[in-house]
Structure 1
Amino acid sequence: MSDLPRKALSRTAKLASLPLGAAGRATVGLGRRIGGAPAETVVAEFQRRTADQLFAVLGELKGGAMKFGQMLSLMESAMPEELAAPYRATLTKLQDSAPPMPASTVHTILSRELGRRWRDRFEEFDDLPAAAASIGQVHRGTLKDGREVAVKLQYPGAAEALRADLRQLGRFARTFGTLVPGLDMKPLVAELQERIGEELDYDREAQAQQQYADAFKDHAEFVVPRVVKHSPSVIVSEWIEGRPLSSIITGGTKQERDEIGLKYVRFMFSGPKLAGLLHSDPHPGNFRVMPDGRLGVVDFGLCARLPDGLPPAIGRLLTISLEGDGIAVRDGLRAEGFIKPRMDVAPEQLMDYLSPFAEPARTETFQFSREWMRAQANRTSDFRSPSASLALKLNLPPSYLLIHRVWIGGVAVLSQLEAEAPFSSVLDEFLPGFTRVDS
C-alpha cells in the first residue's frame, strides 16, 4: 500500500473514533446510571471525555478538521454555559496550535520554494515553529539585512488532506451538531469546501496581505505585516510580536476588552473602504495586541474582494430596520435575494426576528456578552420559536456569504470579549447607506 492511501485510511480512522452523538451519550449514560451515578454527573463526565477526544483528533488532523474546529470555537459563546464550560479550554487551543511538521520536511519545502541556497537569505532561522494552524505553520527568522520575519509554510498534501477531511466531516456533521443544539453544521462544512482553493493559494493570500499592508501603512490603530517574498506554498513577511487576542478574552481587564473590541470592529469595517478587501477569518488566533496598543492582524488566506466597499444595501436595510418599517425591510431583503420570490414572510415577524441583531446599532454604546449571544442562538434555534421558523425561510445569496460569516463570527468574538463600546459610530463611519437613528 502506498503512503498516501495509508495516511488517508489513518485520517478516516481517527475521524471515525469520534463519539457518535446520541448513541455515544446513551452508551456512556447507561453504564454510569446502572452504577448509580446521578444524571448530572453522567452528562458532565461525557462532556469532558467528548471534549478531550474530539479536539485531540481535530488538532492532530489539521486540514479541514482543524479549520472546522477553529470555526466551531467562534461559536462557543452561543452554547449554554453548562455545555460550553467543558469545551472552552480545548476550543481555545484550536485557535492557534497544532502538532508541528518535522524540521526535515520544513527544509525540503523551503529548498523547493526558495531555492537550494535558501539559508543564505537568513542570518537565523528557527526550525521549531512559532505557530501551527490548519493548513500551514509559521517559523521565525532573521534576514541578512536584520529584518525579523515570519515564514509561513503550507503543509505537504494540504489540498488532499483538506478535501478528505471535509468529506469525512460532512458525514459526521450530525455528531458535531450535538455540541450546539439547533446549529446546522452542514452549511459550515459546505462553506469550507467552497473556499478550499482560496485558502490554499499562498500567492493570492500574499497579494491580499500586501494590499492590506499598503492601505494601513503607519496606521494609528492597526498593524499589517508587509510581504517580503512569496510562492504558491510559502509566504515570508515581517514579524509582528503581540499578545494573542485569546488572552485578552480570558484574562483582559474590562478596559482592555472594551478597547480591543472596538478596534476589532473598526478593522473589520474599515477594510472594504480603505483596502477594498474584507478579512473573512475573524477567529481570535488571527489577531495580536501590540505593545503600543495597536491591533496586529495576520493570516489573509480568506478575504472577500470588495473593490467598491461593502454593499450599500446592508446599511440602508439596517437603517430601515431601526426605523421600524417592516414592509420596506421585507421588500429590500427580497430585492437582495434574502427572501425568495414566492416565499411569504410577515413584516411583523421579520421585525421581531431582526430586532435583537440590530440592537448594537440602535444605542450609542452596546454591551456584548455570552448571555446575550446565547439568547439569540436559543431564539433562532428552538424549533418551537417563530424566529426559528422564519430563519428557515431566509436565503443567503452567494455574494453575501463571506460578509455574513464575518458579521456572525465578529459578533461571537465580541460576545467572548464581553466588550462594551460605541459600535454604532463605526457603522456610521464605514458602512455605506447607514444612518444612525436616535432611539
Structure 2
Amino acid sequence: MTKSTKQPGSAVPSRRLSRLWHLGRATTDLAAGVGVKGMYELARSRNSGEPARIQLSPEHTRRFTERLARMRGAVMKMGQLMSMEGSDIFTPEAAEIMSALRERAEPMPMSQLSQVLEREYGADWDKRFSRFEFKPIAAASIGQVHRAETRDGRRLALKIQFPGVRDSIDSDIDNLALLGQTFGMAPKGIDIKPFLEEARRQLHREADYDAEAEALERYRARLGDDPDFLVPAVHRDLTTRNVLAMDFVDGVPVDRLAGADYRRAARDRAATALMRLTLRELFEFGLVQTDPNFGNYLYDADSGRIALLDFGATHGVAPEHVAAFRRLALATIDGDRDGMREASVALGYMGADDPAEHIGTMLDLLQLASEPLSTDDHYDFGTSDLFERVYRQGRELFRSGAFSTAPAPETMFLHRKFMGSFMLSRRLRARVDLAAMVEAVIRPPAPAAAAA
C-alpha cells in the first residue's frame, strides 16, 4: 500500500477535564484580547440590548481560533458559526481570522489516526487498500477526510471522526453555555437554553456516520439525475459509525467562483442552481441539508456541476411546516397580509393574540425580506444590502420582547440554510431570477382546462 510521509498534527483532547482545560485557555485568550474596555462594552450591550463591538486584536483572535482548532468538536463547530454570523460582534479583522475555522481544523497525528482505523477496520485494515493517503485533504470540527483507493479500484474519500468527539459533545455544550453567560453573549431577556439543546441534538446527529450515510442515500434518491448536481455514493462495506466511505469527487469550493478567474455567467449559474436546490429541498424533498459552509459545495469547471458534500446536518421537515412555509411564501408574494399572519402564527413567528402594532411590524419585516421576489428581473445580490437591513430590524424587533412566542428551535436550521444561500449568492456577486424560480417551485399548477 502506498503511504504519504508523516504529517504534523496534534492529538484530539478527548477527556472532559482535558477539554475543559483547553476551553479555559481559549477563554483566557479571549478575555485578554477583549480587555477591560471590551468587558465593559459587553456588559453595556447586555443591559441596553444594543450590539457589542469587540475590538479583539488579531494576535488574540489567532490564539483563540488555534485553540478551538486543536479541540475540534462542538466548541469548534460553534466557533465556525460565530465566524459566519458574528460580524455584528467582532471587528472585520477579527472576523477574517475567525473565518479560518470554516476552512480547516488541525489534523490528528498519524499515531491517533492509525488507532482509529485499526479499531474500525481491524489490525489488518491496510490490506483493504492499494493506496491510502495519510495526509488529510480536509479537516473540520467533527472529523478529517482522506483519499484512498481500494484493491478493486474504487477511488474513495474516507471521512474519519476524531476520537472522543461524540462523547465530549454534552460537556462542550455545557461549557459553552457557561462561557456565554460569563461574557454576556446573549441579549438581555433571551433564553438561549432551547437553542443550545437543539445544537446538542444536531451535533449528536452529525457525529453518527451511519445516520449520515442514510441521510446521504435518501437525499441522493430524491435529487435523482439532476444535471446541475452530483451526490457521491456511499460504500457500505467500508462505512461504520466513525468512518464514512464515499466516492471521491473533484472540484473547488464554490465560493472560489468569486475570483477573477471565473466569468459572471458561471457565478450566476451556480448561485441560481443552489437557490433552486434550496427551494426544492424544502418544498419538494422535505429533506434539507442545513450546513451552509461554502466548502460543502465543490464546483467542477469541466462539467459545470456542483458536488454536494456533508449530510450530517440533514433534517427532515414536518409536512405541516412545509405547508406553513408555502402559505407564508405565497401570501407574501401576493401581498395577502391576513394569509401571512395565519402562516406566521402556525410557524411560531407571532402569537395569535399579540398586539396589532407588533403583528404589523413583523409583517412589514417579512415583506422587506421578500424584496428579491418583488422584481420582474434578476435580483443583484452583489449590490444588495438587504441582509443588513433585515438583520437590524429583526434584531431590534425580537430584542424588544414584544412577542409572546418564538419559533420552535428545531426550525432554526431552516433559517440557517436560507441565510447561507443568500450569503453565498452575495459572495458570488450573482444575479438570480428568484421571483420566477419561487413561482415555479411553490405555486401550485393551475388545473387543466376540461376537454371540450
Matched, 1:356 2:368: yes
**What do the CA deviations read for 1:135-159 (whole angstroms, capped 9, x no partner)?**
1111111112222100011111112
Tell me which of 202, 206, 210 is aligned to 2:213: 206
Distance 2:199 2:120 in 1: 26
Q: In structure 1, what residue type is equivalent to 2:248? A: W
In 1, are the aligned partners of 2:56 and 2:91 still within 8 Å (CA)?
A: no
In 1, are the aligned partners of 2:105 and 2:139 still within 8 Å (CA)?
A: yes
**What do the CA deviations read for 1:373-392 (whole angstroms, capped 9, x no partner)?**
2222222224xxx5753775
In 1, are the aligned partners of 2:251 and 2:298 still within 8 Å (CA)?
A: yes
Tell me which of 179, 190, 195 is aligned to 1:172: 179
In 2, are the aligned partners of 1:312 and 1:431 still within 8 Å (CA)?
A: no
Distance 1:381 1:308 in 2: 29
Q: Aligned ranges for residues 29-108 of structure 1 at < 5 Å?
A: 46-75=56-85, 79=88, 85-108=92-115
1:37 equivalent in structure 2: none
Q: Which moved more, 1:148-157 or 1:334-343?
A: 334-343
1:372 equivalent in structure 2: 386
1:231 equivalent in structure 2: 240
**What do the CA deviations read for 1:269-289 (whole angstroms, capped 9, x no partner)?**
223566542111122121111
Please, which runs of 5 or more residues in structure 1 have no aligned partner? 30-42
**Counterpart secondary structure, 2:15:** helix
1:430 equivalent in structure 2: 441
Distance 2:354 2:92 in 1: 39
**Counterpart secondary structure, 2:149:** strand
Matched, 1:245 2:257: no
Q: Which moved more, 1:390-399 or 1:256-265?
A: 390-399
Alpha-carbon distance change, 175 to 318 in structure 1, aligned in 2, over 3 angstroms: farther
Q: In structure 1, what residue type is equivalent to 2:112? A: T
1:128 equivalent in structure 2: 135
Q: In structure 2, what residue type is equivalent to 1:351? A: L
Number of aligned residues: 416
2:296 equivalent in structure 1: 286
In 2, are the aligned partners of 1:352 and 1:387 still within 8 Å (CA)?
A: no
Q: TM-score, normalised by structure 1?
A: 0.82
Q: In structure 2, what residue type is equivalent to 1:358? A: S
Q: Aligned ranges for residues 404-419 of structure 1 at < 5 Å?
A: 404-419=415-430
Q: In structure 1, what residue type is equivalent to 2:441? A: F
Q: Which moved more, 1:425-434 or 1:288-297?
A: 425-434
Distance 1:22 1:327 in 2: 49
Tell me which of 398, 403, 413 is aligned to 2:414: 403
In 2, are the aligned partners of 1:135 and 1:154 still within 8 Å (CA)?
A: yes
Tell me which of 245, 267, 270 is aligned to 1:260: 270
Distance 2:68 2:445 in 1: 41
* 1:255 to partner: Cα distance: 3.4
Q: In structure 2, what residue type is equivalent to 1:103? A: M
Q: In structure 2, what residue type is equivalent to 1:128? A: K
2:22 equivalent in structure 1: 11
Alpha-carbon distance change, 255 to 184 in structure 1, aligned in 2, over 3 angstroms: farther
Matched, 1:215 2:231: no
Tell me which of 301, 304, 315 is aligned to 2:312: 301
Distance 1:179 1:342 in 2: 27
Distance 2:81 2:38 in 1: 29
Q: Aligned ranges for residues 19-30 of structure 1 at < 5 Å?
A: 19-20=30-31, 24=35, 26=37
In 2, are the aligned partners of 1:282 and 1:410 still within 8 Å (CA)?
A: yes
Alpha-carbon distance change, 297 to 309 in structure 1, aligned in 2, over 3 angstroms: farther
In 1, are the aligned partners of 2:291 and 2:417 still within 8 Å (CA)?
A: yes
**Counterpart secondary structure, 2:76:** helix
Alpha-carbon distance change, 333 to 427 in structure 1, aligned in 2, over 3 angstroms: same
Distance 1:406 1:366 in 2: 19
1:32 equivalent in structure 2: none
Root-mean-square deviation (CA), in Å? Answer: 3.5
Distance 2:131 2:442 in 1: 44
In 1, are the aligned partners of 2:144 and 2:159 still within 8 Å (CA)?
A: yes
Q: In structure 2, what residue type is equivalent to 1:239? A: F
Alpha-carbon distance change, 392 to 129 in structure 1, aligned in 2, over 3 angstroms: farther
**Counterpart secondary structure, 1:227:** coil
Q: Which moved more, 1:99-108 or 1:247-256?
A: 247-256
Alpha-carbon distance change, 219 to 72 in structure 1, aligned in 2, over 3 angstroms: same
Distance 1:9 1:190 in 2: 19
Alpha-carbon distance change, 177 to 375 in structure 1, aligned in 2, over 3 angstroms: farther
Tell me which of 149, 152, 161 is aligned to 2:159: 152
In 1, are the aligned partners of 2:194 and 2:409 still within 8 Å (CA)?
A: no
**What do the CA deviations read for 1:82-111 (whole angstroms, capped 9, x no partner)?**
x55313432332123011011222222222
Distance 2:305 2:184 in 1: 37
Alpha-carbon distance change, 189 to 176 in structure 1, aligned in 2, over 3 angstroms: farther
Matched, 1:314 2:321: no
**Counterpart secondary structure, 1:232:** coil
Q: Which moved more, 1:217-226 or 1:391-400?
A: 391-400
Q: Aligned ranges for residues 318-337 of structure 1 at < 5 Å?
A: 318-337=329-348
Q: In structure 2, what residue type is equivalent to 1:70? A: Q
Distance 2:350 2:386 in 1: 26
Q: In structure 2, what residue type is equivalent to 1:378? A: R
Distance 2:423 2:288 in 1: 17
**Counterpart secondary structure, 1:51:** helix
In 2, are the aligned partners of 1:68 and 1:189 still within 8 Å (CA)?
A: no
Q: Percent identity between the aligned chains?
A: 25
Distance 1:434 1:338 in 2: 28
